[in-house]
């Protein structure tokens, strides 16, 4: 029983889709109506983006606490670290070139 693969039904995809839709509509509404100050709107947008990232990782990429999910999580974290190193290194090189070329 413990070795059975996690079966994902359409219900999980529907829940993830609805959550993603709501997390998209909320910041869009506040940005379009300008009913809140700009800083509050930006904080709402960032918070919804982070929550939506988690929703996508859990419901669509199936990064959970199962054995297979843990391996997927480890590969996701490794890939994220490599991408962050690549981006940070590129920015560092561009800043140093800008300073040393006197542009």
Average pLDDT over residues 84-97: 96
Sign of the Cα torsion 72, 74, 77, 79 reads: negative
Q: How far is CA 70 from the centre of its chain?
A: 17
pLDDT in tens, 13-70: 999 999 999 999 999 999 999 999 999 999 999 999 999 999 998 898 888 888 877 8
| Those residues with Cβ within 8 angstroms of residue 12's Cβ, 6 or more apart along the chain or in another chain | 59
Which spans in 1-103 are helix H?
10-33, 38-55, 67-101
Distance of CA 32 to the CA centre of its chain: 23
Please state the domain extents for the chain: 7-62, 64-102
With 50 as the cut, is the pLDDT of residue 93 above it?
A: yes
């Amino acid at each position: 029983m413990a070795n059975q693969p996690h079966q994902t039904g359409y219900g999980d995809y529907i829940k993830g889709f609805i959550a993603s839709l709501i997390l998209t509509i909320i910041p869009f509404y506040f940005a379009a109506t300008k009913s809140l100050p700009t800083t509050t709107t930006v904080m709402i947008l960032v918070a919804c983006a982070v929550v939506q990232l988690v929703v996508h990782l859990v419901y669509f990429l199936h990064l959970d606490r199962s054995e297979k999910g843990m391996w997927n999580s480890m590969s996701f974290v490794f890939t994220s670290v490599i991408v962050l190193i690549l981006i940070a290194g590129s920015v560092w090189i561009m800043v140093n070139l800008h300073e040393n070329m006197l542009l």
